[in-house]
Amino acid sequence: MRNLLETVRTFPVQATEMAIDLGLGIYSAAELFQSPKPPISLMELGAAALAAAAVLYQVAKASEQVELRDRVEAALEEHGFIERIMSPTTRQYCSRQAARVACEKFGFRSDYDTLCAQKKKESMLTWLPNI
């Protein structure tokens, strides 16, 4: 269960979007089976297909974040916390989340938070909460 929670913490934005898209897809599919008229059912079929495509896209983006977390974990294990290695992960919110989870695993969370505070001017979406 802890591993699943760490995985979801790695990509919170994609997990939220996947849940929304999945809900919309299920709703559209349910409406499709209840709809008696073909034009409406075609629209619902299209909506369900778009929701499914959006879920697949978010799964691909989430796998990129998990891969980034694994690369950061490998770098931390091999070299320890080196600011030069960790600096590229401070710019984007999703990259920060992946690196935060990896740093927490190796006990470098406070060092990484300090680095993020130093790079705050260059970072995007710093107002989003850290999970």
Percentage of the chain exceeding pLDDT 70: 84
23: exposed, middle or buried (Cβ count in 10 Å: 0-12, 13-18, 19+): exposed
Per-residue pLDDT at 84: 86
**Residue range 63-76, pLDDT digits in tens:** 888 898 889 999 99
**Residue range 44-58, pLDDT digits in tens:** 778 788 888 888 888
Which of 125, 120, 73 has the alpha carbon at shortest distance from 98?
73
Residue, of 40 and 59, whose pLDDT is higher? 59
Query: Is the pLDDT score of 11 beyond 70?
Result: yes
